[in-house]
Structure 1
């Protein structure tokens, strides 16, 4: 194949013979010379079959961050190869730069770096490396078929973990958790507590906590202390149906749910509770359960990274079958969904009595702050402002009605704006943990 230099050579060479007595022969001579130079240049271009490719770099990155992937091109042949390559990724990988030009002598390898700034979470694979070997004159080049380039492209997949903006409040929640479950014990036994240790009696202790056998052995008054139970089960349910695709700010509602579920999972893992994950719409998309707590947390994050909203109605009967088939041990069931009237009344509400009979249920829905702003009239409202405000207030009133109905059915409802949503869910968990109601 010829390059733009060959076209420029013809563009400058063909007009010259016009002033000669026999221009057509001169034109033919110019074309012949240019073609001969291009053929010679093509013959001197290094073979592409001598090139070997390999990749190194980052396998994972949090959404909003950047990753680096290094593509190393090695020349295993005996001739110098002038390589132009294009490293193509899926558009949402945010790859750049895509084009590189290398001069590879025999036995030499050279790395090129591609910086990836993804715009969506999930798997972002490399598509194809297209190689082109040019001659020393730059008039012609070798390039193989697309299938050959695809076959010789080293596979690479960048796992983009979901955005975790609530990470900034994680130290605060962990400090509260240490107060609840770590450094502070209770004087008296209650529901959801377990024995911690024995210590000497101090004024103000409940006399009912005195351990008389230990007192007899120690010849001093000894009391039992208690702490909130560990090894409780926390079950996060992510609704990936059509309502999860609604935008909250610039991101789908599902992203806010994933952020809150991540914060809750980290807290529960630090509290030595068992965390399971279920994502569903009209079918079960992801299920994570079993395994060690630290290992499971990584599995949870990986599973959440691949979730995307699905344009299907959520079938909450799948959740009922999943939870009711398990053992009867009480768990904290946190359902991240939209507090919309139709899905809640027709889908989740008929199922709640059975769930709340066995488990502690939290229904968590993120509120769109834009709707809250629309509900407030400006200083000098016009007719359009009044209509928009009335519509927004109706939406909020229906949301309040859904919240009241779910609360009456025995669920704890978390309804907050996106910037405070994850923190509110974590606060409810810590409150239940402190009061021993898990």
Structure 2
């Protein structure tokens, strides 16, 4: 009986479709927004002369959220020379690039007693799914655009006002800035004339994302960097509609991402793909190098938006020494997402001795943050300090305020 069983096993193994005759290819989505679902299909071709009876497992990294349409325990059948499509639905839980892990095929004989399985057969076709940022703040874009149209209409209707582009000459009236008097034109006309200026339409906006160690702090379910990315996407979409030239720089000790100005239809797509694989680095951010690069590469006056953390140890020691030079040439805005843990520790009454020490540390950190904000304000730097869920809208509001007052 043992010999008969061994014979049946040998015959069943011999009749199983050989793995060397199997080829696999992938097709499907290359990108998906975080929270969405993508479909990637494995096309398994049986080039042998035997029918294929197999269990197929298409493995991905855990964060890809793979849900195969065909369960891995189900036996599939592929006729000789035929192709079987095996869809896999992916709902990623993290942004960035998600790669395939392994494709495993277990080929059974007709009796189901023996099977062939070998690592690397068939070869796993490579595939990369890029998970784009969620961009939850997109829902606020229509309201911000309506405010932008009101601002543009007010400036166009006014015709003259603060700005840097010369518009016309008019007579001096009480209250005009004496620095705007055109003395040569006044001498020719024998009356005091002042120059009027109109706001620029083509301005520059530079968003700098801090990807250093402070960007790795988790604010709720996501790191601070994700809140900065979401705010950057909303701000750049708004600025592009306003006609501004937008550039984005992500850096810590080195430059991680640099996205230059592009045409409006392609701007968001390029930026989302560039920021998707960005991850925090556990290093100190070199603000001196960032400021030096901004001063070297961007000579025209621009609005520099720095998305970082209001931490005196990093921002105070790195940025403050070079801030006077940077603020003299550019308009600077610092946007930071607050840590909810500090707010909770400072607001809840302590119940234990350990809670009292934690609350004292939180109060001290908040006081240092307030002192740093005051120092930045003295250098004419606009500071946006708000909880992470409201960072994108608060930054957009600050941008619109600067635009309405012709300070950008």
TM-score with structure 1 setting the length: 0.81
Report what 1:302 is aligned to.
273
CA distance in structure 1 between the aligned counterparts of 2:155 and 2:311, rounded to whole angstroms: 40
Shift in CA distance, 140/434, structure 1 to aligned 2, threshold 3 Å: same
For 1:299 and 1:255, locate their aligned partners in 2 and report how far apart those are by CA, in whole Å: 17
Structure 1: distance between partners of 2:61 and 2:77:
27
Residue 30 of structure 2 contacts residue 129 of structure 2 at CA under 8 Å; is this kept in 1? yes
Give the whole-Å Cα distance in 2 for the aligned partners of 1:169 and 1:314. 31
Matched, 1:134 2:108: yes
Please name the residue that 1:154 is paired with. 125
Corresponding position: 1:119 with 2:93: yes
Residue 364 (structure 2) aligns with: 394
Give the Cα–Cα distance (whole angstroms) in 1 for the partners of residues 162 and 145 of structure 2: 23
SS at match of 2:137: helix
Q: What is the distance in 1 between the residues matched to 2:248 and 2:43?
A: 39
1:169 to 140, 143, 159: 140
1:241 pairs with 2:194:
no
Deviation at 1:230, TM superposition (A): 2.0
SS at match of 1:375: helix
* Larger Rg over CA atoms: 1
For 1:339-354, what aligned pairs fall within 5 Å after superposition?
339-354=310-325
In the alignment, is residue 64 of structure 1 matched against residue 35 of structure 2? yes
Structure 2, gaps ≥5 residues long? 168-195
Q: 2:157 aligns with which of 166, 178, 186?
A: 186
Find the counterpart in structure 2 of residue 331 from structure 1.
302
**8 A Cα contact 1:289 1:296, kept in partner:** no
Equivalent in the alignment of 2:395: 425
Q: 1:335 to 1:159 in 2, by over 3 A?
A: same
Counterpart of 1:377 (choices 348, 356, 372) is 348
2:240 equivalent in structure 1: 269
- For residues 280-299 of structure 1, the aligned pairs below 5 Å read 280-299=251-270
Counterpart contact for 2:45–2:84, Cα < 8 Å:
yes
The answer as to whether partners of 2:287 and 2:315 remain within 8 angstroms in 1 is no
Deviation at residue 192 of structure 1 after TM alignment: 3.0
Instruction: Please tell me whether residue 412 in structure 1 is matched to residue 382 in structure 2.
Output: yes
* 2:290 equivalent in structure 1: 319
- Equivalent position SS for 1:323: helix
Query: Counterparts of 1:262 and 1:135 in 2: how far apart (Å)?
Result: 55
